[in-house]
């Protein structure tokens, strides 16, 4: 009788405090992948105090919804299974069935446009499309949702990989997943939440950013704009801009030329995707604490506008990882893509740019933060395109990090990583980790090494491999104190790698301040 009363009240539009329809968090939809070997959380909302039963693969648990209507159960640990199964959630007469559920490895994929970059835009797409018959690889695509408040609900759905769907998959994530799937033989789920052109601050919780004065000043700039923003004012401004644009287009057309782009409408500054914490609130928080093995990160371009911002990135990246791990109550592995080569080819022995310094931030992060790694892509970029099409190499290198460090496979994780130096006469000897089966110079003599004395003036250096070290010297620098390698936006020709073919990360042995922007 009470249920019939609730239904009547709902139909009539009459409020009834405490009543809630049975609902699961958005990520629990058909085609999903659950994380194996973990007590997987399943949560949602029901009538406050109501009993809720969750059943999956012979595992059934009943709990009561709390005073706000939220409930959560944790399924027992499960082995990987490619058999499509049914997740059933019941409360009273309400019942939800989630179909075609697999159990395997789940990875969160986040960042900006190079993570959003799809398989359909990658090199050799037609070939990749024809071969993409991987029904055990699935992706949940999170809809864009900036928010100044923490969100529990987002919009999105799972896609099963096939030649018809693979074009919309995150390319870096897909090529990673394919390698993991083929090596481990288990289903792989990608929880994809990215947005092009966004900064790391937007993906971090607000409270954690208060320790960084420059970030708070960045936030204050948005707040000042918000204080004077009105919908009426924006409507007036846009009408004037549109009128001016129409006149410019007409003039250009009369002269046989192409006119300017149509002006864009401005949104409230607090709704901007780059307002600190907005994407964490709207696009990460709704997924916490969905069972994941780890996270993949491809971002940094937005934070490489100045050398100061690039240097701060080291701390902001560790902060993001620390906060996400706390949210999930797990020290899960985190693998990031170091920014690849881009822009004009290197000319000077070293070029102090923000991109060079942010690569150094990635390298320090790799060396100093537990259970993380970077995929080096200094050889796969494109001078005129910030979005390199060779995402196959990026995904493969991310996968090697995970296979070696997370899954314990006997594979080489990546390329040479600078660990230290010592002076030897008029030369500097460089030491490395991640040697694989040994150092090598790809395609001839080593290039893009530079050396400097106490005057901090770098010159092009001669560099040779001696055993597991590289010896660097220059006739013009009798008493060297520092070496840099591949230190520029686009160090074309950098060719130090290990015999497995993984490129060495750019590095510097000094800590001198930037002479660039």
Tens digits of residue pLDDT in 195-248: 999 999 999 999 999 999 999 999 999 999 999 999 999 999 999 999 999 999
How many Cα atoms are found within 13 Å in the side-chain-facing hemisphere of 82?
11
Structural domain includes residue 173: no
* End position of a domain, from candidates 265, 292, 314: 265
Cis ω on the peptide bond leading into residue 289 (within 30° of 0)? Answer: yes
Structural domain includes residue 489: yes
Rounded Cα distance, 382 and 370, in Å: 31
Beta carbons within 8 Å of 306's beta carbon, 6+ residues apart: 354, 517
pLDDT tens-digit map of 251-275 = 999 999 999 999 999 999 999 999 9
Which segments in the chain show pLDDT lower than 70? 1-19, 517
Give the domain range for residue 447: 417-508
The pLDDT of residue 516: 76
Q: Are 184 and 137 in contact (CB under 8 A)?
A: no
Rounded Cα distance, 473 and 386, in Å: 34
Coil/strand/helix, residue 268? coil
Structural domain includes residue 433: yes
The pLDDT of residue 317: 98
Structural domain includes residue 19: no
Rounded Cα distance, 226 and 221, in Å: 9
The pLDDT of residue 517: 65
Ranges of beta strands (E only) in 38-155 are 41-45, 51-56, 59-64, 70-74, 81-91, 94-111, 137-142
Structural domain includes residue 76: no
Structural domain includes residue 243: yes
Rounded Cα distance, 177 and 16, in Å: 46
Structural domain includes residue 238: yes
Domain count, the chain: 2
* End position of a domain, from candidates 244, 265, 286: 265
Structural domain includes residue 495: yes
pLDDT tens-digit map of 35-76 = 999 999 999 999 999 999 999 999 999 999 999 999 999 999
DSSP assignment, residue 154? Answer: -
């Amino acid at each position: 009788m009470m249920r019939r009363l609730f239904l009547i009240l709902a139909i009539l539009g009459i409020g009834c405090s405490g009543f809630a329809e049975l609902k699961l968090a958005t990520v629990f939809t058909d085609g999903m992948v659950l994380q194996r070997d973990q007590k997987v959380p399943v949560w949602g909302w029901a009538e406050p105090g109501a009993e809720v039963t969750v059943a999956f693969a012979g595992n059934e648990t009943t709990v009561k919804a709390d005073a706000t209507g939220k409930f959560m159960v944790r399924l027992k640990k499960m082995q990987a299974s490619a058999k499509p199964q049914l997740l059933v959630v019941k409360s009273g007469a309400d019942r939800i069935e989630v179909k075609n559920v697999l159990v395997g490895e789940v990875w969160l994929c986040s960042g900006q446009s190079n993570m959003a970059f799809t398989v359909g835009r990658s090199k050799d797409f037609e070939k990749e499309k024809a071969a993409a018959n991987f029904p055990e690889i699935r992706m949940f695509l999170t809809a864009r949702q900036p928010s100044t408040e923490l969100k529990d609900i987002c919009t999105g759905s799972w896609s099963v990989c096939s030649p018809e769907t693979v074009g919309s998959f995150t390319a870096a994530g897909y090529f990673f997943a394919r390698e993991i799937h083929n090596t481990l033989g288990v289903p792989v789920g990608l929880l994809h939440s990215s947005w092009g052109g966004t900064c790391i601050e937007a993906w971090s919780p607000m409270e954690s950013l208060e320790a960084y004065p420059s970030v708070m000043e960045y936030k204050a700039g948005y707040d000042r704009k918000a204080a004077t923003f009105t919908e009426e004012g924006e409507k007036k401004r846009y009408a004037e801009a549109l009128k001016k644009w129409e006149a410019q287009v007409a003039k250009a057309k009369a002269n046989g030329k192409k006119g300017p782009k149509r002006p864009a409408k401005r949104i409230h500054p607090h709704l901007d995707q780059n307002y600190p914490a907005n994407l964490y609130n709207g696009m990460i928080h709704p997924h916490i604490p969905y069972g994941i093995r780890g996270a993949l990160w491809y971002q940094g371009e937005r934070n490489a506008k100045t050398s100061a911002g690039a240097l701060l990135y080291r701390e902001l990246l560790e902060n993001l990882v620390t906060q996400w791990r706390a949210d999930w109550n797990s020290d899960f592995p985190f693998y990031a893509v170091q920014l690849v080569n881009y822009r004009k080819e290197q000319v000077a022995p070293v070029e102090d740019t923000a991109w060079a310094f942010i690569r150094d931030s990635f390298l320090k992060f790799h060396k100093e933060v537990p259970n993380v790694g970077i995929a080096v892509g200094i050889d796969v970029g494109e001078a005129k395109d910030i979005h390199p099409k060779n995402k196959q190499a990026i995904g493969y290198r991310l996968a090697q990090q995970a296979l070696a460090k997370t899954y314990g496979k006997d594979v080489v994780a990546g390329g040479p990583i600078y660990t230290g130096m010592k002076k030897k006469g008029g030369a500097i000897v460089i030491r490395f980790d991640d040697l694989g089966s040994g150092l090598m110079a790809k395609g001839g003599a080593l290039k893009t090494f530079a050396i400097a004395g106490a005057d901090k003036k770098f010159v092009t250096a001669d560099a040779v491999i001696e055993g597991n070290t590289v010896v660097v010297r220059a006739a013009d620098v009798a008493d060297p104190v520092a070496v840099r390698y591949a230190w520029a936006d686009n160090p074309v020709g950098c060719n130090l790698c290990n015999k497995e073919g993984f490129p060495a990360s750019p590095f510097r042995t000094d800590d001198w301040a930037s002479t660039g922007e």
